[in-house]
Structure 1
Amino acid sequence: MTTKHRIATALFCALAWIIVDQLTKAFFKQILTPGDVVSFFAGSLLVLPTYNHGAFLSLGAEMSDSTRNFIFIYGVLAILVGLLIWLLRSSKLGRVEVIAIACILGGGLSNLLDRCIYDGRVFDFLNIGIGHVRTGIFNVADVGIMLGLAMLLLGRAKRGPTSPGSATALQ
């Protein structure tokens, strides 16, 4: 993939995640207030809007505001910049890897946008499960991040392990 194609593919994919995430957040903020719960598919999907101070599963929500904001704004920004540099500089990335990185960038940027607008909080509203076995509350950006991570990990696992000096290790 040429640099131009990597950038175009990544830009399109990342923007798609940002737009869809922000539109779904705006929609549910418009029709629901924190505390409301809407159930779909016999309770398998719940929509319950909330503002999350932490990260995945409220990790870090108990930190001081300054520490939490430093980690979840500047730390996340540093990771996203690192991913962007990897995307721009690595000519060996395949289409799946470029899309995976773009999913992470789009989801991460959309949640970072929330943190900057909503005083360090992210708007979450989705919960899935059966009975008492449920996920934490998340949003569409989180789906993009997790999908991107899964694509990168599965892509690496599919290639199998490489030994130093092998043809695949040199690529």
Structure 2
Amino acid sequence: MTTKQRFATALVCALAWIVIDQFTKALFKQILSPGEVVSLFAGSLLVLPTYNDGAFLSLGAHMSGAMRAAILVFGVLAILIGLVGWLLRSSRLGRVDVMAIACILGGGLSNLVDRCVYDGRVFDFLNVGIGRLRTGIFNVADIGIMLGVALLLLSSVKRKPTLPRDRNSLRI
């Protein structure tokens, strides 16, 4: 893929994640009251609106506001900028890699929008599990981030390392 193709593909995919995430957040903020819990699929999926001060699984929620902002806003922004740089500079990225980066960018940017709008917090509303074995509360942006990470991991496992071929090294 050319740089323009990588950028265009990633932009469309990332924007899709942002739109879907922000739409679902707006929808559930409107139809659910704080503290309300909706159980679906025999309790395997719970929809419960909450604001998360921390990151994944509320990590960092108890840090000071300045430290949280430094890490969860500026740190995340630096990572996202690094991903954009990787996307634009690496000609070796395949389609799966580009889609993976786009998923992470879309999810990360959408959660950054929340942090800017909701005083450093992210709106989460999904919980999955069986019985007492449950996930933390998350949102669609988190799904995008996790999907992107999983795709990058799978892509790196499938990719075979390329070694330079030196004819002289094969001689005995």
CA distance in 2, matches of 1:132, 1:84: 39
Q: Give TM-score, length-normalised by structure 2.
A: 0.93
CA distance in 2, matches of 1:2, 1:156: 20
Is the radius of gyration larger for structure 1 or structure 2? 2
CA distance in 2, matches of 1:51, 1:26: 13
C-alpha deviation, 1:79, in angstroms: 0.2
Please give the per-residue CA displacement for 1:3-51, whole angstroms capped at 9, x wherever unaligned. Answer: 1110110000000000000000000000112211000000000000000
The aligned amino acid for 2:29 is K
CA distance in 2, matches of 1:30, 1:72: 26
The aligned amino acid for 1:14 is A
CA distance in 2, matches of 1:39, 1:70: 36
How do 1:1-171 and structure 2 match up within 5 A? Answer: 1-160=1-160, 162=161, 165-166=163-164
Corresponding pairs, count: 165
**Secondary structure in structure 2 of the residue aligned to 1:127:** strand
CA distance in 2, matches of 1:33, 1:141: 21
Q: Runs in 1 of length 4+ with deviation above 6 angstroms?
A: none
CA distance in 2, matches of 1:22, 1:121: 14
C-alpha deviation, 1:159, in angstroms: 2.1
CA distance in 2, matches of 1:45, 1:26: 19
The aligned amino acid for 2:72 is F
CA distance in 2, matches of 1:6, 1:72: 27
C-alpha deviation, 1:74, in angstroms: 0.2
C-alpha deviation, 1:166, in angstroms: 4.5
C-alpha deviation, 1:132, in angstroms: 0.2
CA distance in 2, matches of 1:33, 1:123: 13
Identity %: 74
